[in-house]
Structure 1
């Protein structure tokens, strides 16, 4: 394989990577554009326990390492989801407003 073929392969790989990132962003945007999608994301974020530190889950006993890893993994997914909102912060604010409205009903 010569240098030109390697360069072509690198460019093809970069193009495919960009295509996948754009598709993922479009998919997330489609989810956040619907009320049902935002409700689902709210439930998913709640399950992630973003505001719950794993060390303080139990008042009566210390948490073991595997349980802590499990909870920290859930929190990681929540932080990842929040990060997806960086390109559309207005949708995240809308999600929070809808959550507040639903809690007051």
Structure 2
């Protein structure tokens, strides 16, 4: 349900160029697609397993990010691989903590 009507020309927190179309996300904040891509990539590189608005911390569904950031197929594959890797790492880290707790209790 995100389409060109979701793109606006109002300024955002990161870029005030009036010629840039910006996406309005489900949290209500507005961001240009390139900045959205960079923001989400940074979250993935920090080990996150979900995307959140840097201003209000509300979760952005991946489906929304993929469409509004205008991810290329290569970017989609990269994001999905990193999401999977980060999720697997969190599961392993959680199991390690559980094993450690079982040993000391």
TM-score range, shorter chain: 0.3 to 0.5
Decide which structure has greater helix share.
1
TM-score (norm 1): 0.32
Pick the structure with more strand per residue: 2
- Structure number with greater CO (CA < 8 Å, separation at least 6) is 1
The normalised TM-score by structure 2 is 0.32
